[in-house]
Amino acid sequence: MTSTLIIGESMVELTHHTDDLLRKSFAGDTHSAAVYLKRLAGDSEDVSLLSAVGLDGLSNELIEALNKEGVSTHTVLQHPTRTIGLYMVHTDSLGERSFQYWRSLSAARATMALLEQQPALVADLAPTRVFFSGITLAIFDSTARAQLRELLEQLKMRGTQVIFDPNYRPALWQNEEETKAEYLWAFAISDVVLPGLDDLNKLYGTSSMQSAVALVKTLCCGEAIIKNGEHGVTYLNADTQFSVEVAPVAKPVDTTAAGDSFNAALMAARSKGLPPKQAIEFAASVAAIVIQHKGAIIPRAELQHAISQLNT
């Protein structure tokens, strides 16, 4: 059985159900990736989330929600005084979203410090692959980032594949220089990178796919899947490069989890043995379903066709 360890933050998500009513759920980039990966892969994949929550009722609700989805919570640590972060989504008429965050003292920021207190748990970690994101890096301080890097190096020595999505959020970083310094080692340590062209443009000024490809080739030596929304996806490794067209969605409702669901579907497809092109096409089809619904985590029934398609 394939096993995936996803490192990051689960948060409370508030979205507008009506003008006067907010809907509460749980999300976050790595949280959403974990949920979608487990839904799509089912019993063939063991999915765990490495994060931290509190001891309060809301944190316990989050753990229950993950367990209900089949995501293992044995690596969800509990902080004695902190709780989980929260964000509110504002979505415009085109489905594009903006966010307000309350996470400065979230328990997830202390994940690596709590993990350091559990050496037996660290010694037992040997997943097939590990996934982390730029947001994972951004919420950690310099000490925690160094601890994360050490953990990833240990896992690589145990044969774990490392996957990184830069998922750049400028507001979470002190400056671009800090981000680039952390991304430098994150790209280098990763076997697979999943950047978005828009994120690369914001941070590195790569406004075209050609310039993004040239940049990525200098940053990593494994596989890269560069996402560019409805304009398609470019795949490259040391030996080949090709583009995959993506069917545009006529009227997106909420693009909050577009990249997260794409990443999850890609991992699920590769676990099933699909080659890169077919895996990317499947991932794009899943993301297209997700962005036609409100919220990061859509009803399970809406993914049933994709689940059936993957398992035939």
Residue type, 184: L
Query: Phi/psi of residue 48, each to 5°?
Result: -125, 150
Instruction: Identify the active-site residue in 29, 165, 254, 260.
Output: 260
- Residue 44: count other Cβ atoms within 10 Å of its Cβ: 13
Let me know if 260 is a catalytic residue.
Answer: yes
Residue 283 has which token pair?
């991932």
Residue 139: name the closest of 187, 85, 181, 63 by CA. 85
DSSP codes, 147-213:
HHHHHHHHHHHTT-EEEEE----GGGSS-HHHHHHHHHHHHHH-SEE--BHHHHHHHH---SHHHHH
- Residue 56: count other Cβ atoms within 10 Å of its Cβ: 16
Residue 9: name the closest of 78, 92, 107, 94 by CA. 107
> Which active-site residues does the annotation give?
260
